[in-house]
Amino acid sequence: MAGNRKDFNRSETKRHIRNVFLEIYSEKGIDGVTINGLCKQAGIVKSTFYTYFEDKYSILEEIESELLSTLAEVNNNLENLELTPVLKGNPLPQASETVDFILAHLDEYRAIMGPKGDPSFENRWRRHISSSFTNRFLKEKHDPKSAGLACAIFSSTLIGIYRYFIFEDPDITKENFALILGNTFKYALMDFQASTK
């Protein structure tokens, strides 16, 4: 029991450090985060910080990697997505889980994608999306250059939709969001198929 309690306390301490980091990072950017300032605001000593993190960059990298890897898991079967229902106007199946995850981590997304955030994060996210769809199109024996261009356009559009959702309208219903994503995918796919005939 004592071991479980200790693990819980460690987990809570690490989460607290991350939350305080995000508060400072959102306001000042990575250059404005100092270990001294973070520890003071978090009410911890430096040795506690270094128990969990190497430096401020390791916190940011951990948060970004978790956000990207979890969304990659949620959308890991896009390569094998059955297209017929989507082409008929049905919602994209992964959209509901994607919305749930983004809402659960809204503060992280807003900090990282905000004006003081990390511009490279969106590029990494875009590459994740593009890679999934490129593999899908290549499996269907499409020209690699055409597939790459279509996926670059589609992934950029998706990032724009996600950005709007995160900053402008996080209260949109999951059903509507799923339909928006489904229709985006549908029209992108139709345009791609038309351009490769």
* H/E run at residue 63: helix 56-74
Instruction: Reduce the DSSP state of residue 112 to 3 states and report it.
Output: helix
> pTM of the predicted model, to two decimals?
0.82
* Mean pLDDT over each residue of the chain, to the nearest integer: 84
Contact between 35 and 59 under an 8 Å Cβ cutoff? The reply is no
pLDDT tens-digit series, residues 92-139:
777 778 888 999 999 999 999 999 999 999 999 998 888 777 776 666
Whether the pLDDT of residue 34 is over 60: the answer is: yes
State the pLDDT at residue 88: 77
